[in-house]
Amino acid sequence: MSTSSCHLVLHPDPVLRAKAEPVEVFDEGLKTLAEEMIRVRKEHAGIGLAAPQVGHSIRMFVCNTEEEGEEDRIFVNPEILETSGDLEWAEEGCLSLPEIHGSVRRPSFVRIRAQDLDGNTFELESDDLHARVWLHENDHLDGVMILDRMRPLDRLASRRAVKHLESIYQSGG
Please report, as ranges, the residues that interact with Ni ion according to CB under 5 A: 94
Whole-number minimum distance, CB 6 to Ni ion, in Å?
16
**Nearest to Ni ion of 76, 145 (CB atom):** 145
**Nearest to Ni ion of 105, 120 (CB atom):** 105
Set 24, 36, 79, 137: catalytic member:
137
**Nearest to Ni ion of 26, 107 (CB atom):** 107
**Nearest to Ni ion of 51, 94 (CB atom):** 94
Residue number with the smallest Cβ distance to Ni ion: 94
Whole-number minimum distance, CB 56 to Ni ion, in Å?
15
Known catalytic residue at 67 = no
Whole-number minimum distance, CB 25 to Ni ion, in Å?
25
The Cα 137–Cα 48 span in angstroms is 7
Catalytic machinery residues: 137
